[in-house]
Structure 1
Amino acid sequence: MKTIQAYKRAPALENSTWYKGLLISQLAGNSDTDGAFDLVESKMKKGTEPPPHIHDREAELFYILAGEIKVFADGQVFTVVAGESVFLPKKIPHAYLIQSEECHVLALMTPGGFLNAINKINAPARTMEIPSDMETYATVDLTSTMAVFIKYGVRMMSPDEIAEQLPAYAIAH
């Protein structure tokens, strides 16, 4: 068993990946925190958002460093801008749409482990910029992605579920 140790880490090529059009820097993962949480810094652009989904295991907290997102969860719509955060409890259907051209976010997921799913289907970052030549959720067949996610307790919502549980998203999207 690995002994958990104190460390210092910043976004760098060594801990960053490209995933579905996002630049994700892993600041803390499951093995770093003994499963307590994952912490990532993500840089995203409009159009790279994941489809509406539900986490059975993790709660998420997003802190916006730059840009603006609109979050749909639990019958509410939150506009979240730089300097603000939004909390998404586990088992609550949610989605977000990036409102600015780019968005820079710190995401805390607890307990840890969801990054393990992302790390099964990402690619090493070649630069510390948002990838421009990569498929996104909107442009790729999600069958294999959904198969990995379901093993980690994350399920994409069906169009009927979205219309029923996230009607404001269905209208905005």
Structure 2
Amino acid sequence: MVTTKLSAEETGGVLGITHFSAVAGERAPRHTHTLEDEIFIVEGGEVLLTVGDRTATVNGTGVLFLPRGIPHSYLVESETARFYVITTPGGFEKFFSETGYPVHLGSAAPVGESWSVDRTREFSANLGLGLIWND
């Protein structure tokens, strides 16, 4: 589940903040941002993060800077994980609201609907977010 905590509209375009409550296997395939930098703050769980040619597992808590122009990815390795993604400038948070499925706390995606890499690529292209998929 991804929740927008602050949007570009609320910060004058300066940044966007989203919070993730993730499960094992959730991932972002290797990609590069051309428009914004990211700060990844893990507050619980085990997350494998790759930035450029460096890979590290954050177990528990940690912070990682993901500069624009550098390919990166993540994979949730624990049963659950919680983390924040801060982007600057803001605007990227709309990616999650557009590619996701609105749910109420504790509910799942609509029947027959699921996240996929292809769906993610399609939405990122349609939103003009400056994502380059590097897989």
TM-score, length-normalised on structure 1? 0.69
- Runs of 4+ in structure 1 off by over 4 angstroms are 140-143
CA distance in 2, matches of 1:47, 1:130: 19
Structure 2 residue ranges without an equivalent (≥5): none
Aligned pairs for 1:72-111 within 5 A: 72-111=50-89
1:112 to 78, 90, 93: 90
- Identity, % of aligned pairs? 23
* Cα RMSD after superposing both structures: 2.0
Given the alignment of the two structures, is residue 30 of structure 1 paired with residue 8 of structure 2, yes or no?
yes
Q: Could you tell me how far apart the structure 1 residues matched to 2:32 and 2:107 are?
A: 25
Mean alpha-carbon deviation: is it higher for 78-87 or for 34-43? 78-87
Which runs of 5 or more structure 1 residues have no equivalent in the other structure?
A: 1-22, 159-173
Match of 1:50 in 2: 28
Give the secondary structure class of the aligned counterpart of 1:25. Answer: strand
User: Quick one: structure 1 residues 33 and 82, their matched pair in 2 at CA, closer, same or farther if it must change by over 3 Å?
Assistant: same
The number of residues matched between the two structures is 133
For 1:136, the equivalent position in structure 2 comes to 115
Q: What residue in structure 1 maps to residue 42 of structure 2?
A: 64
Q: How many angstroms apart in 2 are the aligned matches of 1:119 and 1:102?
A: 21
AA in 1 matched with 2:104: R
Counterpart secondary structure, 1:106: strand
How high is the TM-score relative to the length of structure 2? 0.86
- Indicate the residue corresponding to 2:101 in structure 1: 123
Name the CA distance, whole Å, in 2 between partners of 1:116 and 1:38: 9
Which structure has the highest strand share of the two?
A: 2
| CA contact 1:38–1:111 (8 Å) conserved in 2 | yes
Query: Which of the two has higher C-alpha Rg?
Result: 1
The 3-state SS of whatever aligns with 1:147 is: helix
Q: Contact 1:146–1:155 at 8 Å: present in 2 too?
A: no
